[in-house]
Structure 1
Amino acid sequence: MSETGYGDFEFERRFFVRGLPDVVRDDPTPTLIVQSYFLAVDGYAMRLRVQADGIVLDPTVDLDAVDVLDLHADRFDFCALTVKGPQVGGTRYEAEREIDVHVGIEMMRRGGARIVKNRYSAWLGDDGWVVDVFAGRNRGLVIAECERGVPVTNLSIPSFCVTEVTDDRRFANESLAHTPFPAWQHQFARELADRGPTFSSGFGTNTLASPLA
């Protein structure tokens, strides 16, 4: 049981962003993350994840031709095996166990559908935020996320957040590993143009704030 009393549950809200916000560009140690999904069905997922701090992906590198695991194999210093349940209203079961980095990398080389991203962090108002800039087959996608140890209610939403995608399963990392953003980004753009930005009304009061607030 966690200190918050919620056990192996995570609470987060996620937002579509156009480009890397200026407020996180000064993060001195962005994190390179590679995730490989060995199961992704009906919201249930099992993944391996390796990461290394201080590595920014070169946008000119073709990750379809060059394996990012080979490029930075000696820099990865964390690996975990994680199982997840379906997300319901910003709440999701997640159980994680750290494993040996070298074992994890070798398993990822042998299977799973991958995503690759750089993660930037910043403290905005009362919350810590991360911004994921995707590479490889999801290049061009940027997602901002606020996570708490309790349900994410009454949130001050930075102005760089275009629209909320918390409950849009297409944006789940395991979905992106199998159906990358470029395959449906034009459909999403049409949806956004037709309906305009939306923010969930089921999490208390939303306050649209300045990024520096």
Structure 2
Amino acid sequence: MSDSTYTDFEFERRFLVDSLPTELLAEPAPALIVQSYLLASDGYGLRIRVQASQSRAVVGPTTDPLEALEEHAGELDFCAMTAKGPMVGGTRYEAERELDVSVGLEMIRRGGQRIVKNRYSVWLGADGWVVDVFGGANHPLVVAEVERSGPVTDLDIPDFCTTEVTDDPRFSNDRLSAAPYGRWCADYRDELASSGTRYLDGFGTNGSTGPAGS
């Protein structure tokens, strides 16, 4: 983080996306990300992430994280180990250390609970957003996330965001590694239809933006 006051803390808000905007799909190829959770319990996580920033690999419902890792091992250009604490009010402890890609690759090969996803990046208004499209057991989950160096207040929320999941632990990546979305998405859709969409009101004023690229 650039602000030393908030070193080792992550400030974010996260939203479910029903339909990925075509404007996003027109952006440069998404990054391919494989993550392995060596610990994922009660909101605490120890994660190894490897990334191929310029990969053209597109994940789908049959994508296996380990197979994707092996197929694109030569394209990997970033790796980090991250310790995370539970999310509290849009804030989460996160301490990250960059690793040699070859070390991270071997660690993921040796175990942990793995997930695979594509990550799209787009600038909307005053904020940079990432949109994660999950593959394998977490298909068809799509989550949009905005992160700042301090609390995410007075946010303009893109039209493609269906409902906010910032405070729903089921949508954290560490929880998804153990309880993939594909297992409970039908029940969640029923829940959402019954309760309706929602956006947290404790972060100032929620505004809106137009479609990506506007």
Matched residue, 2:57? 57
Q: Give the helix-richer structure, 1 or 2.
A: 2
Task: Check the 8 A contact 2:59/2:116 in 1, yes or no.
Answer: no
Task: Check the 8 A contact 1:163/1:198 in 2, yes or no.
Answer: yes
1:174 aligned onto 2:174: yes
Deviations along 1:158-205, whole A, 9 cap, x unmatched? Answer: 110000000100000011111100111011101110111100011111
Matched residue, 2:87? 87
1:107-122 map, 5 Å: 107-122=107-122
Identify which range, 55-64 or 178-187, moves more after superposition: 55-64
Give the Cα separation in 1 of the matches to 2:56 and 2:187. 30
Say which SS state the counterpart of residue 132 (structure 1) adopts. Answer: strand
- What code does the residue aligned with 2:146 have? C
1:123-162 map, 5 Å: 123-162=123-162
Give the Cα separation in 2 of the matches to 1:173 and 1:209. 26
Change in Cα spacing, 1:186 to 1:128, as seen in structure 2 (3 Å) is same
RMSD: 1.7
Say which SS state the counterpart of residue 88 (structure 2) adopts. Answer: coil
1:56 Cα shift? Answer: 3.3
Deviations along 1:131-172, whole A, 9 cap, x unmatched? Answer: 000011112110000111110000000110000000100000
How many pairs align?
Answer: 213
Structure 2 unmatched runs, 5+: none
Task: Check the 8 A contact 2:79/2:99 in 1, yes or no.
Answer: yes
Task: Check the 8 A contact 1:4/1:150 in 2, yes or no.
Answer: no
Give the Cα separation in 2 of the matches to 1:134 and 1:8. 26
1:17 aligned onto 2:17: yes
Give the Cα separation in 2 of the matches to 1:141 and 1:61. 10
- What code does the residue aligned with 1:99 have? L
- What code does the residue aligned with 2:138 have? N
1:84 Cα shift? Answer: 0.3
Task: Check the 8 A contact 2:65/2:136 in 1, yes or no.
Answer: no
Give the Cα separation in 1 of the matches to 2:195 and 2:188. 11
Matched residue, 1:42? 42
Deviations along 1:47-82, whole A, 9 cap, x unmatched? Answer: 000001122334568334971111001110111000
Give the Cα separation in 1 of the matches to 2:76 and 2:104. 10
Say which SS state the counterpart of residue 189 (structure 1) adopts. Answer: helix
Q: Percent identity?
A: 57
Say which SS state the counterpart of residue 133 (structure 2) adopts. Answer: strand
Task: Check the 8 A contact 2:35/2:114 in 1, yes or no.
Answer: yes
Say which SS state the counterpart of residue 153 (structure 1) adopts. Answer: coil
Give the Cα separation in 2 of the matches to 1:41 and 1:153. 28
Matched residue, 1:104? 104
Task: Check the 8 A contact 2:33/2:119 in 1, yes or no.
Answer: yes
- What code does the residue aligned with 1:43 have? G
